[in-house]
Amino acid sequence: MAKSYKLSIIKGDGIGPEIIDEAIKILDAVAKKCDFTLEYNEYLMGGIAIDTTGHPLPEATVEGVLNSDACLFGAIGGVKWDTLPRNLRPETGLLSFREKMGVYANLRPAVIYDELINASTLKAEVIKGVDIMVVRELIGGIYFGQPRANDGETAYNTMIYTKKEILRIGKKAFEIAMTRDNRLCSVDKANVLEVSQLWRDTMNELSKDYPSVELTHMYVDNAAMQLVRNPRQFDVIVTGNIFGDILSDTASMVVGSIGLLPSASTGDKTAIYEPIHGSAPDIAGLGIANPIATIESAAMLLRYSLNENEAASLIEKAIKKVLKEGYRTKDLADFDAKEVLTTSQMGDVILNNI
């Protein structure tokens, strides 16, 4: 019997619905081709949830996503909701969602498409062949550490990691390195911070269980510099929440347009797949958003949550082919475009290559 999976879908606000619709189109096509079925259940979050239910993260969304095999997420937020109190804003719903889902590992691949090498602000000879995976710890560290306070004269936050948390993210990173080039660079600030010393000691301890993976360490300031100087030296990078936040943005710009980059947030309960960009209210409804980051996110979902590797490869190959043939959305129109397409036309040409 054909395998069947339950996906939770959160379209969100702005361009969210437009880009998710394209991803679903592609998911349906590969499911048919690879002989499995997908059941979709849609849930509300962000501005649309506020307008409909009065809350940015309805309980039904939390339950629905926890009961699904994986979640495909568009983007949330927009000017309409920017003046609400912080606890009722769309973005607060998103942070709380990630915490409730226990998605401790944020995976952000940064891969260069040869066809778009001129879209990066870095020189082609520096970025050609870049294929990096940043593994960022997502629900610990200084963003969540207690105590935290600001009394107007003095303010502080707490950078805290338990060995258990470091082992959890470390294992994930070693396992990912084993599916790639077997090189893992752990980024910390162990020359200054105790929390980083524990991080480094724990990674070293863990590396004994993964003899095929070469573990190296780098201080975060140097890593920021090396990412721009010679990004090809990296395979997998593992780091804490704040360092990963900064480094993954740097790594993404090595690649070019924000409309191209997918991400996965995974944990023990479920996983969320989403483009790294936001809801782009400036272009919402115009039909010009680039759906590729979301379609790539769907491919990650197939690979990491459903183990449908063939289906994932079909999508990745179709995207490469389409870019090679010169099809571009408006954001990439200046880079060797043969034809500039709308959001749904881009979905269609990818579909035709599945």
Catalytic residue numbers read 143, 189, 221, 245, 249
Which of 170, 240, 244, 278 binds ligand NAI (CB under 6 A)? It is: 278
> Counting contacts by CB under 5 A, is residue 137 touching Mg ion?
no
Among Mg ion, ligand NAI, none, the one that 283 touches (CB under a kind-dependent 5 to 8 A) is ligand NAI
Tokens standing for residue 309: 């590797």
Whole-number Å distance between alpha carbons of 36 and 22: 19
| Cβ-Cβ contacts under 8 Å for 307 (sequence gap 6 or more) | none
- 50 vs 134 by CB, closer to Mg ion: 134
Whole-number Å distance between alpha carbons of 106 and 95: 13
- DSSP codes joined into one string, 95-140: HHHHHHHT--EEEEEEE--GGGGGGSSS-HHHHTT-EEEEEEE-SS
Which of 71, 76, 176, 301 binds ligand NAI (CB under 6 A)? It is: 76
Select from 156-164, 205-213, 217-225, 289-297 the region that touches ligand NAI (CB under 6 A).
Answer: 289-297
* Beta carbons of 202 and 103 less than 8 angstroms apart: no
Site for ligand NAI, residues 313 to 332, rule: CB under 6 A: 331
| Cβ-Cβ contacts under 8 Å for 148 (sequence gap 6 or more) | 156, 157, 158
Among ligand NAI, Mg ion, none, the one that 91 touches (CB under a kind-dependent 5 to 8 A) is ligand NAI
Site for ligand NAI, residues 176 to 235, rule: CB under 6 A: none
Site string for Mg ion, 235-274 (x = CB under 5 A): ----------x-----------------------------
Tokens standing for residue 184: 């893992």
* Beta carbons of 353 and 283 less than 8 angstroms apart: no
The structure tokens 């607060």 sit at: 92
Whole-number Å distance between alpha carbons of 47 and 76: 7
* DSSP 8-class letter at 152: S
> Counting contacts by CB under 6 A, is residue 283 touching ligand NAI?
yes
> Counting contacts by CB under 6 A, is residue 77 touching ligand NAI?
yes
- 186 vs 241 by CB, closer to ligand NAI: 241
- The least CB distance from residue 76 to Mg ion, in Å, is 15
Torsion (CA) 294, 295, 301, 303 in degrees, nearest 10: -140
| Cβ-Cβ contacts under 8 Å for 91 (sequence gap 6 or more) | 76, 77
- The least CB distance from residue 246 to Mg ion, in Å, is 7
- 203 vs 284 by CB, closer to ligand NAI: 284
- DSSP codes joined into one string, 59-73: HHHHHHHHTSSEEEE
3-state helix, strand, coil in the chain (%, to 5): 45, 20, 30
Q: Which of 84, 8, 100 is nearest to 46 (CA)?
A: 84
- 18 vs 245 by CB, closer to Mg ion: 245
- The least CB distance from residue 90 to Mg ion, in Å, is 16
Among ligand NAI, Mg ion, none, the one that 76 touches (CB under a kind-dependent 5 to 8 A) is ligand NAI
| Cβ-Cβ contacts under 8 Å for 87 (sequence gap 6 or more) | none
Select from 72-80, 117-125, 148-156, 244-252 the region that touches ligand NAI (CB under 6 A).
Answer: 72-80
> Counting contacts by CB under 6 A, is residue 281 touching ligand NAI?
yes
> Counting contacts by CB under 6 A, is residue 137 touching ligand NAI?
no
> Counting contacts by CB under 6 A, is residue 91 touching ligand NAI?
yes
Select from 74-82, 229-237, 243-251, 303-311 the region that touches ligand NAI (CB under 6 A).
Answer: 74-82
* Beta carbons of 168 and 106 less than 8 angstroms apart: no
> Counting contacts by CB under 6 A, is residue 78 touching ligand NAI?
yes
Residues within the interface to Mg ion (CB under 5 A):
245
Residues within the interface to ligand NAI (CB under 6 A):
15, 75-78, 91, 94, 258-259, 274, 277-283, 289-290, 293, 331
